[in-house]
Amino acid sequence: MVAIDYTTALPGDRSPRARRVAFGLAGLLLLTCLLSLSHGASGVRLDAALDAWLSGDAMPDRDRLILWEIRLPRMLTGVLVGASLAVGGAVMQGLFRNPLADPGLVGVGAGAGLGAVLAIVLGGQAPAWVAAWLGWHMVPVAAFLGGWLSTMVLYRVSTRAGRTSTATMLLAGIALGALAGAATGILVYIADDRQLRDLTFWGLGSLGGASWPKIAAAGPVMLLALVAAPFLARGLNGLALGEAAAHHIGLPVQRVKHVAILTVAAATGAAVAVSGGIGFIGIVVPHLLRLATGPDHRYLLVNAALLGATLLLLADLIARSIIAPAELPIGIVTAVIGAPVFLWILLRRRGLVDM
Amino acid sequence: MLTINDLKVSLGSTPVLHGIDATAVAGRIIAVIGPNGSGKTTLLRAISGDVPYQGRIGLDGVDLAALKPWELAARRGVLPQAATLAFPFTVAEVVRLGLTSGTQAARPDLIARALEEVDLTGFSGRYYQELSGGQQARVQLARVRVQVWDPVQNGRARWLFLDEPVASLDIAHQIGVMRVLRRFADGGGGVVMVLHDLNLAAMVADDVWLMHDGQLLDNGPPGTVIGGVGLAAAYGCPIMANRLPADSATFVLPHGLWDTRTADEAAPVSRFQAASVI
């Protein structure tokens, strides 16, 4: 009998590769951030601005305005929204044990959108203390509540005895999305002209409206979700075995599920509140990472945040440079890239049930 | 020691277990046998902490209901009947999931050791979904084993609760798994497993619990339970029990396949016969 060395790394342990990928993605994100800051319709150059700053010269007011009030908030919003969408998707897929569970596809995005529209149209009718208490936060908080409610309903409907049916989940998602869409339609109908303008800009799905007050309002919610997600990693890994086995290996299953639902709602709600509907980041990013480094959520969640942020910034760069000085809604760019990838995922799934 | 007092379990509005009293001692292998629907799996789920119950279940003097999930996980591993897995994990990654609790987490060498134990050395890099049913079952057993690797920890026995651990295995691997369980019990750990194969139960178990209609019909050493009159009555078919002349191990055979007598009429056949047939 051959002696086995138990201490060497086993084939099949993909964590070293996942760690290397994390470093690579972090570098890539940094580069993309610089690219996002230095590119734009106005032709302000980042290197020139940096030179000026380092040599102590005063930056021209116009350049500072563009960098500080337009490009920097836009970049930060892109990072936060991209990371939130990707992490929200990864957490939701882990919770539902299904790689097709994307907040945008199964009605959670629509529910969050309904919350946001409710706040925009009827926010003025809210009691004064609510308005005073929430202030700028009203739209993201309402979007979070809408996302939370739809995630809860979806989970209740599609999960029986710890098993989620893909068909039920997708069909229930269609119903939830239609319901939220109808309610949103009613609200649009009763909205006044100023609200309609707000709604239209918001609904385009764009980072164009990024501003410091918006970051201050929705950023903390997204940050909370991004910080909470890594703590879910062990729980989501266990849930992959099913709820019973997750309990057997020592996980507080109900708590994991509740925190996961809240995280999905916070990530999706805040992202939708800031940027409208941006599709496919939540499904494409986790899927690519599972192919590259495996489904271990200890690495998947962190890497999804990095890759999601990078991809959304790149999509934004394409959206605002392809027909400059005008810009495409970013949702169009992510859909054009994401939808074919999604179809490819469906094709690859044949054979492997519940990949 | 696992003590079960007046255990009652209902699934939905249907009562499934009607007051079970039993005791299992660490260091011994308990085989739970009985016909389909007699409550074996429900009993295993109850002692695993999976279903709400009335009555009392004590694990080494502690009330099961008072233990947190992670405290339970440090004391017992559970192998469910059917294991599903979402997402394309490799074999090594699946086994690793068992390492997340208790004090075994600091021992990554256990993954290779557990895979060796279930005869899957060299499979660590394979995708779990691409394995055969029997290989998947052994991966799941390895996962459960790393969770409670040492049969005794800090002077306290640890337990393995297994539902049909060999249902999909070939005969060589059935024996291999039984050896794993034997070593665990000999090391001071407790083993409670549901088994369908009466001959395997007779060969391996120190004690047999015979379930029927949500009740414990009989319990004791395999020779008395599997050789007893209760067996044919519980299963509702004629069964012949006998002993091998070599080591007087009990074995059973279905008896009189074309016999049209009812189980009650045929039941006496299951009394021990002389080993003359062999």
Considering the domain boundaries, does residue A242 fall inside one? yes
Residues of B in contact with A242 (CB under 8 A): 80, 83-85
pLDDT average, residue stretch A45-66? 73
| Domain extent for B59 | 2-226
Based on the fold, state whether residues B112 and B247 are members of the same structural domain: no
Considering the domain boundaries, does residue A159 fall inside one? yes
Q: Are the beta carbons of A245 and B80 separated by less than 8 Å?
A: yes
Based on the fold, state whether residues B53 and B92 are members of the same structural domain: yes
Based on the fold, state whether residues B128 and B253 are members of the same structural domain: no
- The partner residue sitting opposite A4, judged by closest CB among B84, B94, B116, is B116
Mutation site for B-interface testing, chosen from A10, A297, A354 by largest number of B Cβ within 10 Å = A10
Is residue B114 less than 8 Å (CB to CB) from chain A?
Answer: no
Neighbours of B103 (CB within 10 A): 11
Is residue A248 less than 8 Å (CB to CB) from chain B?
Answer: yes
A·B CB contacts under 8 A: 118
Using one digit for the tens of pLDDT, what is the confidence trace for A269-280? 888 888 887 888
The nearest CA of chain A is from the CA of B101 a distance in Å of 6
Residue B228 in tokens = 């007893």
The nearest CA of chain A is from the CA of B202 a distance in Å of 28
Cα B146–Cα B148–Cα B152 angle in degrees, nearest 5: 135
How many structural domains comprise chain B?
2
Q: How far apart are CA B44 and CA B51, in angstroms?
A: 10
Helix (H, G, I), strand (E, B) or coil at B193: strand
Based on the fold, state whether residues B113 and B185 are members of the same structural domain: yes
Considering the domain boundaries, does residue A316 fall inside one? yes
Considering the domain boundaries, does residue A107 fall inside one? yes
Q: How far apart are CA B156 and CA A284, in angstroms?
A: 48
Based on the fold, state whether residues B125 and B173 are members of the same structural domain: yes
Based on the fold, state whether residues B66 and B118 are members of the same structural domain: yes
Q: Could you tell me the CATH number of the domain that includes residue B83?
A: 3.40.50.300
- A354: pLDDT confidence band, cut at 50, 70 and 90? very low
Considering the domain boundaries, does residue A44 fall inside one? no
Q: Check residues B57 and A128 and name the one with the higher pLDDT.
A: B57
| Domain extent for A67 | 22-29+58-347
Q: Check residues B218 and A326 and name the one with the higher pLDDT.
A: B218
Is residue B142 less than 8 Å (CB to CB) from chain A?
Answer: no
Neighbours of A63 (CB within 10 A): 17
How many structural domains comprise chain A?
1
Based on the fold, state whether residues B238 and B134 are members of the same structural domain: no
Q: What's the start-to-end Cα distance of chain A, in Å?
A: 36
Q: Nearest Cα to A33, choosing from A21, A20, A23, A46?
A: A46
Is residue A353 less than 8 Å (CB to CB) from chain B?
Answer: yes
Considering the domain boundaries, does residue A45 fall inside one? no
Is residue A297 less than 8 Å (CB to CB) from chain B?
Answer: no
Based on the fold, state whether residues B213 and B83 are members of the same structural domain: yes
Using one digit for the tens of pLDDT, what is the confidence trace for A152-167? 888 888 877 666 676 7
Sequence-distant (≥ 6) Cβ neighbours of residue A46 within 8 angstroms:
A34, A37, A38, A67
Considering the domain boundaries, does residue A121 fall inside one? yes
Based on the fold, state whether residues B170 and B254 are members of the same structural domain: no
* Regions of chain B short of the pLDDT cut 50: 268-278
Based on the fold, state whether residues B231 and B217 are members of the same structural domain: no
Looking at chain A, which residue has its C-alpha nearest residue B70? A250
Q: Could you tell me the CATH number of the domain that includes residue A111?
A: 1.10.3470.10
Q: Are the beta carbons of A354 and B86 separated by less than 8 Å?
A: yes
Using one digit for the tens of pLDDT, what is the confidence trace for A179-235? 998 998 898 888 888 888 878 767 666 787 788 888 888 888 899 999 999 899 999
